[in-house]
Structure 1
Amino acid sequence: MSIKVLVVDDSALIREVLTRMLSRDGDIEVVGTATDPIDAREKIKVLNPDVVTLDIEMPNMNGLQFLEKLMRLRPTPVVMVSTLTTKGASETLLALELGAVDFVAKPSAEFAGGIEVFGAGLRDKIRAAARSDVRGRAAGRAEPAKVPIKTAAAPEGSLIAIGASTGGVEAIRAVLSQLPADCPPVVIAQHMPAGFTARFAARLDELCALKVVEAEDRLPLLPGHAYVARGDYHLRVERTSGQLKARLTQDELESGHRPSVDVLFGSVARTVGPMAVGAILTGMGRDGARGLKQMRDAGAFTVGQSQASALVYGMPRVAFEEGAVVEQAPVEAIAGRLVTALMRLRSAA
């Protein structure tokens, strides 16, 4: 069964490029295109697509307004097609908060790796979106907000590591917003292109008790702070002069990604060992399973997001199957599991 896609964009050129790119492998069929949300609304009713690609800037109705209505009235997997600007990054993150599964940056003349790389990435995101549990997530959105944990009471030298991909923007927010201001340093690898991670960190900073920043090379990792891997850079943790620091590099892609969750988790296993706790959240593929297994083998407590609460149960599933996960938990319980493990560390210290 091919994946049926509706392409929504006011640019005829972008509609043509997306249609051509999506049709390349034969498992995705563009069943229609729409020039604006009004047009899209009618075509969604008639064509019943599995996935919709949606531009943000459109005539007649902004893409975000349309997305909000769509998620309320007819939850459908949506992949945003976004411009690589500061405004575009902010609106894209808002789209993910409203329920979009993922996004791609519009290809530009200087697009790294060219149009073929863009097309392959787009097709992968459409496949992940088609398998995502958007309806389940929409139904669960009415849950009351969980009360943040008051204190982490973690021993010095401890660390929290989190990895995610598709659906991770919301999952990371759910975990971080419950962590207390006195928790140990948090390092985060979320699959996201360059140009979006600074805005993602700033958005998390607005919503959390922690100070959240985009990681910088050789930055000391401080308690009460969270560090988001910069798009197109690997983030590692190293110890120099007794202090934990961030290291950023642009060496080869790992597990198909940069930043790679495997790279981050592997460095945490080597540098922090049993003083670390780790969580692998929603995402497609297997990035993070190997690194999380290294963390567990080094004595760290590890948790995986449960299938029922994961938008895409790919990365957590592989990690669980490979014995990398001590336990699985719904996303709203993960912060509590991490803090409990840290407190056990303290009592054992």
Structure 2
Amino acid sequence: MNSFSRIDSVRAASSGIAANSQTQNMHERLDAPKLTADAILAAPKPHERIPPTERIVAIGTSAGGTKALEVVLPGLKKTCPGIVIVQHMPEKFTAAFAMRLNQLSAIEIREARDRDLVTPGLALIAPGGKHLLVRRNGLKYYVNVVNGPMVCRHRPSVDVLFRSMACAAGRNGVGYILTGMGDDGARGMREMFDAGAQTFAQNEASCVVFGMPKEAVRMGGVRDQLPLERVADSINRLYAL
């Protein structure tokens, strides 16, 4: 299959995923209480010193995110830091979505499994219907894939991922909040910011929906805003910082 047809298939799959997500999850999400990340894990301890180690990148996105990831991930080099991703998406779609992105990219991309190590040149996408948390063991990072209630009316939740990054990585973490509706991720990004992480939001001009990045900016957790086409380069340059 040539590159155009592969990209075309990802876009077609993305459209189908978005439609299915709306029809299957809307009633459950609207009826769910709007819980915070406290429902899954405790808040980071203020001023906790986390020893320096390799960079680790977290990306959170929702509406428009499938196409945004289609731009970002194929632009990454194999030497980029390990990446963990929450894309709001229903169950049974994330594995196929990750597989299609993997075909377009130099790095390895796949659906996360519990206790997977986060290593350079690898991107792990949260399974639909499960939360994704980053943990640390010595100088290594790994993930937990867990059940639990919806947080910010989402499962997986960006707030949960970003809070776990604040707790496990501190200033070694780098966060990107991309296009999406609502405010999931805004509080978690502020927690990453307070822990010393570098934090970025996709700018309004390049977003399909500026809701999540706008709320993260409003809460004071964003160090800089970037157009979508500059996100991959920003990640590629992290090892040079």
Query: Taking structure 2 as the reference length, what is the TM-score of the superposition?
Result: 0.81
Q: Distance in 1 between matches of 2:16 and 2:64?
A: 8
Q: CA deviation at 1:255?
A: 0.8
The answer to whether the 8 A contact 1:210-1:226 is kept is yes
CA deviations over 1:153-189 (Å, ceiling 9, x no partner): xx95210110000000011121111111011110000
Q: Distance in 1 between matches of 2:230 and 2:9?
A: 27
Q: Distance in 2 between matches of 1:201 and 1:297?
A: 31
Q: Distance in 2 between matches of 1:217 and 1:241?
A: 18
The answer to whether the 8 A contact 2:80-2:239 is kept is no
Q: Which of structures 1 and 2 has the bigger CA Rg?
A: 1
Q: Which runs of 5+ in 2 are unaligned?
A: 1-7, 32-51
Q: Counterpart of 1:102?
A: 18
Instruction: Name the % identity.
Output: 41
The answer to whether the 8 A contact 2:130-2:156 is kept is yes
Q: CA deviation at 1:94?
A: 3.2
Q: Which has the higher contact order (CA 8 A, sep 6+)?
A: 2
Q: CA deviation at 1:342?
A: 4.1
User: Is it true that 1:255 corresponds to 2:152 in the alignment?
Assistant: yes
C-alpha RMSD of the superposition: 2.5
Q: Distance in 1 between matches of 2:27 and 2:202?
A: 32
AA at the equivalent of 2:185 = G
Q: Counterpart of 1:79?
A: none
AA at the equivalent of 1:159 = I
Look up the SS of the partner of 1:177 in the other structure. helix
Q: Distance in 2 between matches of 1:271 and 1:106?
A: 33
Q: Distance in 2 between matches of 1:263 and 1:206?
A: 28
Q: In 2 relative to 1, CA 260–312 (structure 1 residues): closer, same or farther, beyond 3 Å?
A: same
Q: Counterpart of 2:211?
A: 314
Number of aligned pairs?
Answer: 214
CA deviations over 1:52-75 (Å, ceiling 9, x no partner): xxxxxxxxxxxxxxxxxxxxxxxx
Q: CA deviation at 1:278?
A: 1.0
For residue 240 of structure 1, the aligned residue among 137, 146, 166 is: 137
Q: Counterpart of 2:28?
A: 117
Q: CA deviation at 1:105?
A: 5.0
Query: Taking structure 1 as the reference length, what is the TM-score of the superposition?
Result: 0.57
